[in-house]
Amino acid sequence: MDIGHRLRSLREQKNLSQGDMEKRTGLLRCYISRVENGHTVPAVETLEKLARAMEMPLYQLLYDGEEPPVSAPRSNGNQPPEWGSSGKNSRFVGRLCRSLAKMSETDQQVLLSFAENLSKRKRPSASSE
């Protein structure tokens, strides 16, 4: 997915200019232009600002399906937070997202295929060691 193209498309659907986005987010118009033209990959925090400025949930910037994605069940407070939602793991997830955003779709598919194959491997049991 080209986040810049998606951002521009959604901004234009809402009849907002880059100047309007600058006023709503505090980000410079030239930065917004660089993101939309694919010269800069924004951080997750920046994407959150852009989504708020367009009055939409963050997932809509990243998801282009007709129906909202199925979300995981929310924690009831007795369970530990989801992996990657805070601390060091959260920073790792952020770096991973930024890296994936820079990759071509073909490279993303290769990486996904590799990860799927890796997850299907049977690990040796403790008794066989």
Residue 24 lies in a domain: yes
Of 31 and 78, the one with more pLDDT:
31
The tokens for 125 are 């049991």
Q: What is the pLDDT of residues 73-126, one digit of tens each?
A: 555 556 666 766 677 777 787 787 778 778 888 888 888 888 888 877 766 655
- Rounded to whole angstroms, what are the CA distances from 109 to 69, 99, 105, 116? 20, 14, 6, 10
Q: What is the 3-state secondary structure (H, E, C) of the chain?
A: CCHHHHHHHHHHHCCCCHHHHHHHHCCCHHHHHHHHCCCCCCCHHHHHHHHHHCCCCCHHHHCCCCCCCCCCCCCCCCCCCCCCCCHHHHHHHHHHHHHHHHCCHHHHHHHHHHHHHHHHCCCCCHHHC
CATH code for the domain of 19: 1.10.260.40
Residue 75 lies in a domain: no
Residue written as tokens 């925090």? 45
Return the closest-CA partner of residue 23 out of 48, 54, 1: 54
Residue 120 lies in a domain: no
Residue 21 lies in a domain: yes
Q: Identify the pLDDT of residue 93.
A: 77
Q: Identify the pLDDT of residue 66.
A: 66
Domain total of the chain: 1
Residue 87 lies in a domain: no
- Residue range 58-76: average pLDDT? 68
Residue 99 lies in a domain: no
**Residue 15 pLDDT exceeds 90:** yes
Mean pLDDT of the chain: 81
- Which structural domain, as residue segments, surrounds residue 14? 3-64
